[in-house]
């Protein structure tokens, strides 16, 4: 595998934001979730749960609810605005003021023609969904208290609204309230304490299911307005509900961190009539479960502990398979760390600022796996705060450490750095073609900057001491509207590879500023890629864990790549549940490819045989403990190291030392607020 001097970095204080809302689209198999800082994330559940898009947050945007209308995404929040998002340019498309105060909930009818929002002033406001915008239609009967939750009947003629102490049913055509359902405050509850109906579901048989702050899930007859059954599942709040598409299963999320499943089944074997029966309880969160989504095969949950949990329902999937494994998404599926390989600097990206650090030094030598004496500790050089209210969406540091760039959805900024005197100077005169970018990348010699913008185009800018000069815009021959999420430049300055969320990989010739070739489209989204410094082979890793190597000179897959696809990757490699987020190479050994995900980094040695199905993908410490005959038997080209956990970056410096940036989950948990209630053993 080779020996490296490792810089073990744990001073990147990355802190994800709490999950506030989520919604799943069965049509596109996309999950959209909103975080407390206003950021939105889109996950493709049909592509190994890959986080394919991130819309950066905004200081004034507090999203309380999300809604899919076909492929269009809407949000509503406590700023009183409804926002539709441009998912191609990763920004808000427009906002509409509802004029009802803070908005607590948003819901669309099954026909996708009307949006309803619940407001602080007690109104349910209806908006007509047009081709390009939404247009206010009317208000339903105004109520005395705020509207907390909404749910349409599948017919689109009725709508149920959860409020304080009650549920109202409205006729969507006349706007009149037809029923009032009073919610019990619970035994021993104070009369002055109101019950909040946090979530509501209106089923096709006119059953209404509600969850409230008294810890109850209640089943109602929506035709007669009567209570059928009450399930007390906690002493605290039940914050979220989600119903399966066939209406046979229901999940409820509590402030204890539990998710409780109910199923519409016969309560005993000999009974023919069905009822909503509590069947399972999942405990995957340490804090409030604020958002839920019930897919065909799994329960998706998120909340204050910042983690997205996908819990398969074992009666819906085959046991002991890849689909039956629980997944936790703790970190973004993109890099927030940039390493200046020549200067030994690290750039950390936060939503509201950037941090520039200089790595420490050691001149000692030690034994394998030991710690080296520190000659000079790591040093924080610069903290650069963003301008405006938009959060930082991408950033880059040049390999020489002399240039720094970042972008929000509305502005782009470039800075010149002087490492000797630790000074930073903003480049004031930028080319007008250099627009806000989705992704940034510097050339290896730091003489060019590449910025991906709309329609999968990339702006190329030349950098020198005197000026910043526009060279041209790289575009594919045919129109593509999806954003570029991966950029990789070759060391010799001749090639630039781009990948977008339509799974397209384009390679451009930087001498001619023209498209060189398009890699054959593979059905899974690229998660990381890099161009080999000597062979000019492009290595691409996809969300389904497949690896391809493409020769840019011959415009075909390499022999090693064909052999890999013919034999197939090891099942243990394919069953990993976190994507590869970075690819790099070892200049001292051209046969080595270095990749990493959240839990391991791997050196792929192309000169060694590929692992066969009978082999076990041991990590290096376990392999070293085996007897010599077994070690030879299990030897193969995939050298996996799991000594470091919760990885945000693994990069190789010019001096052949390895930089490993870790963010232990325990450090994140320790910074979370105390949970509302934590169950203790035997209580």
Averaging pLDDT over each range in 420-424, 484-488, 606-610, which range is the top one? 484-488
Structure tokens given for 547: 């690896």
Mean pLDDT of 94-98: 95
Mean pLDDT of 519-534: 95
Calculate ∠ Cα 473-477-479, nearest 5°.
90
pLDDT band for position 367 (50/70/90)? low
SS3 call for 622: helix
Instruction: Assess whether pLDDT exceeds 60 at residue 682.
Output: no
Calculate ∠ Cα 50-51-56, nearest 5°.
175
Q: What is the pLDDT of residue 364?
A: 65
pLDDT band for position 418 (50/70/90)? confident
Q: What percentage of the chain has pLDDT greater than the value 90?
A: 73
Instruction: Assess whether pLDDT exceeds 90 at residue 405.
Output: yes
Task: Report the range of poorest mean pLDDT among 221-225, 341-345, 630-634.
Answer: 630-634
Tell me the pLDDT of the chain averaged across its residues: 90
Structure tokens given for 249: 């299963």
Q: What is the pLDDT of residue 270?
A: 63
The Cβ of residue 545 has, within 10 Å, a number of other Cβ atoms equal to 20
* 8 A C-beta contact, residue 133 and residue 127: no
Q: How far is the C-alpha of 593 from the C-alpha of 547, rounded, in Å?
A: 11
Residue at token pair 């010739």: 509
Mean pLDDT of 526-540: 96
Q: How far is the C-alpha of 130 from the C-alpha of 14, rounded, in Å?
A: 40
Q: What is the pLDDT of residue 562?
A: 96
Structure tokens given for 385: 């705060």
pLDDT tens-digit map of 386-400: 998 999 999 999 999
Q: What are phi and psi of 673, to 5 degrees?
A: -65, 160
Q: How far is the C-alpha of 2 from the C-alpha of 639, rounded, in Å?
A: 10
pLDDT tens-digit map of 4-30: 788 889 999 999 999 999 999 999 999
Q: Strands 556-557, 547-551: parallel, antiparallel or unpaired by DSSP?
A: antiparallel
Write out the H or E segment, with its range, that includes residue 607: none
Q: What percentage of the chain has pLDDT greater than the value 70?
A: 94
Instruction: Assess whether pLDDT exceeds 90 at residue 461.
Output: yes
Q: Strands 134-139, 149-152: parallel, antiparallel or unpaired by DSSP?
A: unpaired
Could you give the strand order of the β-sheet that contains 448-452, starting from the edge strand earlier in sequence? 439-442, 448-452, 458-463, 468-474
Find, among 224, 241, 233, 138, the residue nearest to 186 by Cα: 233
Q: What is the pLDDT of residue 318?
A: 75
For every residue of 445-469, DSSP letters joined together read: TS-EEEEE-GGG-EEEEEE-SS-EE
Q: What is the pLDDT of residue 623?
A: 73
Q: What is the pLDDT of residue 423?
A: 85
Find, among 70, 107, 77, 112, the residue nearest to 92 by Cα: 77
Determine the distance from the C-alpha atom of residue 381 to the mean position of all C-alpha atoms in its chain, rounded to a whole number.
29
Mean pLDDT of 574-587: 92
pLDDT band for position 625 (50/70/90)? confident
| Whole-structure pTM value | 0.93
Q: How far is the C-alpha of 198 from the C-alpha of 100, rounded, in Å?
A: 19
pLDDT tens-digit map of 310-337: 998 887 777 767 677 888 999 999 999 9
Averaging pLDDT over each range in 232-236, 346-350, 480-484, 616-620, which range is the top one? 346-350
Mean pLDDT of 270-291: 88
pLDDT tens-digit map of 203-256: 999 999 999 999 999 999 999 989 999 999 998 999 999 999 999 999 999 999
pLDDT tens-digit map of 490-505: 999 999 999 999 999 9
SS3 call for 346: strand
Mean pLDDT of 420-434: 85
Q: How far is the C-alpha of 348 from the C-alpha of 13, rounded, in Å?
A: 9
pLDDT tens-digit map of 185-201: 766 666 668 899 999 99
Instruction: Assess whether pLDDT exceeds 60 at residue 135.
Output: yes
DSSP assigned state of 670? H
Structure tokens given for 347: 């750039």
Q: What is the pLDDT of residue 471?
A: 94
pLDDT band for position 370 (50/70/90)? low
Residue predicted with more confidence, 407 or 317: 407
pLDDT tens-digit map of 198-216: 999 999 999 999 999 999 9
């Amino acid at each position: 595998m080779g020996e490296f001097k490792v810089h073990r970095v744990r001073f990147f204080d990355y802190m994800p934001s709490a999950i506030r809302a989520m919604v799943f689209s069965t049509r596109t198999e996309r999950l959209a979730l909103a975080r407390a800082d206003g950021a939105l994330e889109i996950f493709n559940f049909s592509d190994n749960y890959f986080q394919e898009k991130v819309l950066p947050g905004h200081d004034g945007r507090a999203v309380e609810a999300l809604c899919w209308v076909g492929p269009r995404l809407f949000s509503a929040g406590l700023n009183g605005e409804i926002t539709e998002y441009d998912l191609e340019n990763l920004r808000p498309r427009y906002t509409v003021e509802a004029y009802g105060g803070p908005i607590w909930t948003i819901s669309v009818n099954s026909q996708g023609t009307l949006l309803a929002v619940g407001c602080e002033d007690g109104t349910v406001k209806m908006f007509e969904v047009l081709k390009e915008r939404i247009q206010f239609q009317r208000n339903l009967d105004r109520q005395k208290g705020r509207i907390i939750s909404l749910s349409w009947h599948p017919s689109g003629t009725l709508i149920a609204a959860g409020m304080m102490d009650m549920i109202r049913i409205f006729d969507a055509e006349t706007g009149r309230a037809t029923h009032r359902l009073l919610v019990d405050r619970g035994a021993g509850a104070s009369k002055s304490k109101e019950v909040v109906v946090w979530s509501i579901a209106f089923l096709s048989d006119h059953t209404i299911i509600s969850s409230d702050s008294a810890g109850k899930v209640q089943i109602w007859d929506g035709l007669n307005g009567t209570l059928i059954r009450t399930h007390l599942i906690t002493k605290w709040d039940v914050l979220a509900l989600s119903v399966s598409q066939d209406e046979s299963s229901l999940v409820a999320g509590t402030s204890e961190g539990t998710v409780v499943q109910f199923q519409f089944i016969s309560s005993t074997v000999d009974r023919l009539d069905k009822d909503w029966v509590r069947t399972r309880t999942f405990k995957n969160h340490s804090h409030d479960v604020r958002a839920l989504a019930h897919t065909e095969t799994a329960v998706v949950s998120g909340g204050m502990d910042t983690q997205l949990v996908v819990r398969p329902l074992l009666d819906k999937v085959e046991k002991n398979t890849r689909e039956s494994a629980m997944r936790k998404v703790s970190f973004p599926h993109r890099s927030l760390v940039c390493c200046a390989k020549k200067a030994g600097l690290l750039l950390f990206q936060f939503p509201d600022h950037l941090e520039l650090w200089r790595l420490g030094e050691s001149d000692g030598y030690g034994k394998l796996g030991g710690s080296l004496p520190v000659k000079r500790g790591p040093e924080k050089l610069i903290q650069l705060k963003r301008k405006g209210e938009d959060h930082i969406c991408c950033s880059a540091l040049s390999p020489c450490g002399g240039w720094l760039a970042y972008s929000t959805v509305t502005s782009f900024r470039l800075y010149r750095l002087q490492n000797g005197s630790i000074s930073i100077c903003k480049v004031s005169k930028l080319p007008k073609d250099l627009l806000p970018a989705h992704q940034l990348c510097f050339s290896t010699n730091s003489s060019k900057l590449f910025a991906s913008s709309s329609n999968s185009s990339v702006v190329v800018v030349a950098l020198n001491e005197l000026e910043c000069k526009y060279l041209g815009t790289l575009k594919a021959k045919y129109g593509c509207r999806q954003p570029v999420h991966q950029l990789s430049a070759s060391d010799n300055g001749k090639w630039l590879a781009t990948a977008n969320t339509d799974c397209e990989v384009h390679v451009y010739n930087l001498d001619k500023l023209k498209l060189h070739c398009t890699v054959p489209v593979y059905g899974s989204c690229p998660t990381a890629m890099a161009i080999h410094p000597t062979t000019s082979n492009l290595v691409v890793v996809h969300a389904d864990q497949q690896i391809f190597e493409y020769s840019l000179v011959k415009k075909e897959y390499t022999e090693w790549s064909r052999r890999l696809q013919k034999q197939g990757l090891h099942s243990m490699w394919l069953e990993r549940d976190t994507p590869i987020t970075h690819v790099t190479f070892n200049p001292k050994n051209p046969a080595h490819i270095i990749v990493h995900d959240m839990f391991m980094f791997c050196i792929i040695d192309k000169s060694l045989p590929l692992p066969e199905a009978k082999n076990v993908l041991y990590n290096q410490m376990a392999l070293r403990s085996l007897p010599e005959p077994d070690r030879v038997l299990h030897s193969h080209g995939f050298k996996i190291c799991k000594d470091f956990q919760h990885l945000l970056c693994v990069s190789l410096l010019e001096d052949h030392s390895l930089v490993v940036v870790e963010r232990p989950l325990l450090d994140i948990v320790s910074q979370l607020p105390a949970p509302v209630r934590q169950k203790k053993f035997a209580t």
